[in-house]
Amino acid sequence: MTSAIRRLVFFILVIGIWEIIYRIYSQQTELFPSPSGTLEQLYIGLFDTGILRVALMESMQRILVGFIIALLIGGFLGVLLGISKLADETLGSLVIALQSVPSIVWLPIALILFQGSPLAILFVVVLGATWPMTMNMRMGMKNVQPILLRAAKTMGYSGGELVWKVMIPAAIPNLLTGARLAWAFGWRALMAAELIGRGGLGRTLMDARDFFNMDLVVAIMVIIAAIGLIFEYFIFSKIERRVLSRWGLNTN
């Protein structure tokens, strides 16, 4: 049985269990979401009214912009911390401290700084995604095999050339791990920020809750989870396999 079939069977079982639980609780309350009601809300929101489609596009725009910014900032900081002992002992300590702070707690400050504009949510997303990218890139730079550095120096590489042509390429597997974590943390930060911000899937979810439309709430949760699965299995996993194969680290 292939992985795709196993996953399909698993999700069918999950939906079946969900249907059984719904039939039990539907006799006690009409608010409990049902599989059929969730599918109906997905269809209405994506193809009929377009509410979910617009919210999804807004959230995707935010996460993509925030993710790219986080990759650039986190990558730069990671390289700096990896090659500079002074930066690692000073700025590195600040990065470690900041990554322990949930990004959503920055939203009140961001709303004041950006006067409630959409940049406030983008700011939270960038903060959520930058630190895992920074720390993984730092680790990759520091874990470059000494034999590679000695061989490169023997060939005449030094300074910036050593960093760009040897250390950064050797750290690409860690860069990929950092990018994957940056996406995950950024996506979570976005959903949390939108819950109390404006627009996007998070705000739509809160509106659905206020109107006691639990089927729509679950429909939005399904979209959020589906986006995570799509990027994990169809983007990051494929890139990872190619990178590991290129670096001779693929054990399959």
Closest CA to 141 of 169, 176, 161: 169
Q: What is the pLDDT of residue 249?
A: 61
How far apart are alpha carbons 81 and 66 in whole angstroms? 22
How far apart are alpha carbons 76 and 137 in whole angstroms? 9
- Residue 192 CB partners (closer than 8 Å, separation 6+): 103, 104, 107, 124, 202
For 75-113, how does the pLDDT look when each residue is reduced to its tens digit (9 = 90+)?
Answer: 999 999 999 999 999 999 999 999 889 888 998 898 888
The identity of residue 237, as a single letter, is: S
pTM equals 0.88
Q: What is the pLDDT of residue 3?
A: 78
CATH of segment(s) 59-246: 1.10.3720.10
What Å distances lie between residue 89 and 7, 92, 101, 179, 190, CA to CA? 45, 6, 19, 24, 30
pLDDT at residue 10 tops 80: yes
Closest CA to 130 of 181, 88, 92, 74: 74
Q: What is the pLDDT of residue 197?
A: 77
For 118-174, how does the pLDDT look when each residue is reduced to its tens digit (9 = 90+)?
Answer: 899 999 999 999 999 999 999 999 998 888 888 888 888 887 888 888 899 889 889
Q: Is 167 in contact with 133 (CB distance < 8 Å)?
A: no
- Which residue did the predictor score with more confidence, 251 or 95? 95
Q: What is the pLDDT of residue 1?
A: 59
